[in-house]
């Protein structure tokens, strides 16, 4: 029997989850839940239901894992604990600083309900966290580096669009190549914000806006741009649509560590992602962890988990024998 998945929230992430489920033969999409009027939400999977979120409780025994595809600012802090009462849940909560309190809230409910809740799944937090953790455990004497990009930052793109005179805009975060090379060469540099990432902006101006004023306002924006070397390109709306409508992302996690009785040997561990679609890759990670949630729950596990707490084999559709024979 397939693992029956529910999706709450049908934006880029929800749609990505839907696509990922299609690639996993042991899973099926049972239903998508939305706050919108269901008849206005058109999904891709013909066999799945579209329901208003108010009906979700009636699906209690018809769904094995509910994937929460809302945002970290307001949706998930409320939704993940709430639905862990009824379902095994997986979310992609990504406000790093608030993970401990989110974990505690989800754990309290899931311990009580006997469900499994896996939080902060995706690539950062998620696969990047795993790689930081493995590398730290292996090389306790070392230094970590995380670089993001090249990719679209939604927050920085939003910040550009709030500038007066800007009609539309997109921002790419780009690791500084020379810095990456220094880290790879084992030089263990201490890095300022400016030395790690560049910011490149593509801006469509409103009719009659002052380009120089817009550029200065972007470049001097505190927190978002002032601490970075920022480039601003003015382009047409058509050009923006044609060349900058994707949501690529990626990045690099490196650890440089020393071993040997006198720390005479240097090792570099590097993990990198180059993603055409940030939400689709995040969704693909989430779906693998939905399989883990299902299996853990089947074994009687309960409570909140993160990627650190879950043995890798739980993510795979293959058996232990198959994994040992083909991937070990």
Examine residue 78 and tell whether it contacts its own copies (CB under 8 A): no
Q: Which H or E run contains 231?
A: strand 229-234
Examine residue 136 and tell whether it contacts its own copies (CB under 8 A): yes
For residues 194 to 233, the per-residue mask of contacts with its own copies, x marking binding by CB under 8 A and - elsewhere, is: ----------------------------------------
Q: Which residues of 280-293 are buried (b: 16+ CB within 10 A; e: fewer)?
A: bbbbbbbbbbbbbb
Min dist CB 164 to its own copies, Å, is 35
Examine residue 22 and tell whether it contacts its own copies (CB under 8 A): yes
Residue closer to its own copies (CB basis): 59 or 175: 175
Examine residue 73 and tell whether it contacts its own copies (CB under 8 A): no
Rounded Cα gap, residues 320 and 314, in angstroms: 9
Single out the segment in contact with its own copies by CB under 8 A; choices: 62-70, 82-90, 131-139, 150-158: 131-139
Residue closer to its own copies (CB basis): 23 or 40: 23
Residue closer to its own copies (CB basis): 146 or 157: 146
Single out the segment in contact with its own copies by CB under 8 A; choices: 69-77, 152-160, 174-182, 312-320: 312-320
Single out the segment in contact with its own copies by CB under 8 A; choices: 66-74, 78-86, 172-180, 306-314: 306-314
Rounded Cα gap, residues 130 and 296, in angstroms: 19
Q: Are 83 and 65 contacting, i.e. CB atoms less than 8 angstroms apart?
A: no
Rounded Cα gap, residues 9 and 22, in angstroms: 18
Examine residue 325 and tell whether it contacts its own copies (CB under 8 A): yes
Examine residue 141 and tell whether it contacts its own copies (CB under 8 A): yes
Examine residue 125 and tell whether it contacts its own copies (CB under 8 A): yes
Examine residue 309 and tell whether it contacts its own copies (CB under 8 A): yes
Pairs from 28-33 (Cβ < 8 Å, separation ≥ 24): 28/2, 28/3, 28/4, 29/5, 30/4, 30/5, 30/6, 30/59, 30/62, 30/63, 31/6, 31/7, 31/59, 31/62, 31/63, 32/6, 32/7, 32/8, 33/6, 33/7, 33/8, 33/9, 33/59
Examine residue 37 and tell whether it contacts its own copies (CB under 8 A): no
Min dist CB 260 to its own copies, Å, is 6
Min dist CB 258 to its own copies, Å, is 8
Please state, as a whole number, how many other Cβ atoms lie within 10 Å of the Cβ of residue 315. Answer: 17
Tokens for 83? 């639905």
Q: Are 253 and 135 contacting, i.e. CB atoms less than 8 angstroms apart?
A: yes
Residues 258-287 that bind its own copies (CB under 8 A): 259-261, 264-277, 280-281, 283-285
């Amino acid at each position: 029997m397939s693992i029956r998945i529910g999706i709450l929230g049908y934006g880029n992430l929800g749609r990505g989850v839907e696509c990922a489920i299609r690639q996993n033969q042991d899973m099926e999409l049972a239903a998508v839940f939305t706050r919108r009027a269901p008849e206005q939400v058109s999904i891709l999977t013909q066999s799945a239901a579209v329901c208003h979120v108010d009906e979700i409780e009636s699906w209690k025994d018809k769904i094995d894992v509910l994937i929460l595809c809302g945002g970290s600012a307001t949706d998930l802090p409320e939704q993940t604990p709430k639905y862990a009462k009824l379902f095994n849940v997986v979310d992609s909560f990504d406000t790093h600083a608030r993970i401990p309190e989110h974990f505690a809230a989800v754990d309290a409910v899931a311990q009580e309900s006997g469900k499994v809740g896996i939080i902060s799944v995706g690539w950062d937090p998620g696969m990047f966290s795993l790689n930081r953790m493995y590398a730290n455990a292996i090389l306790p004497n070392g230094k970590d580096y995380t670089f993001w990009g090249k990719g679209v930052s939604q927050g920085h793109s939003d910040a550009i669009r709030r500038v007066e005179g800007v009609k539309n805009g997109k921002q790419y975060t780009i690791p500084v190549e020379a810095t990456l090379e220094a880290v790879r060469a084992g030089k263990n540099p201490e890095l300022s914000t400016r030395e790690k990432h560049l910011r490149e902006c593509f801006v469509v101006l409103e009719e009659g806006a002052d380009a120089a004023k817009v550029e200065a306002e972007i470049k001097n924006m505190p927190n978002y741009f002032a601490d970075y070397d920022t480039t601003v390109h003015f382009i047409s709306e058509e050009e923006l649509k044609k060349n900058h409508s994707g949501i690529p992302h990626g990045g690099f996690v490196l650890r440089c560590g020393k071993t040997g009785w006198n720390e005479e040997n240097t090792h570099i561990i590097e993990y990198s992602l180059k993603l055409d679609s940030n939400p689709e890759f995040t969704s693909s990670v989430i779906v693998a962890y939905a399989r883990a949630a299902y299996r853990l729950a089947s074994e009687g596990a309960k409570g909140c988990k993160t990627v650190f707490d879950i043995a890798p084999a739980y993510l795979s559709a293959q058996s232990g024998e198959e994994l040992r024979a083909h991937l070990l």
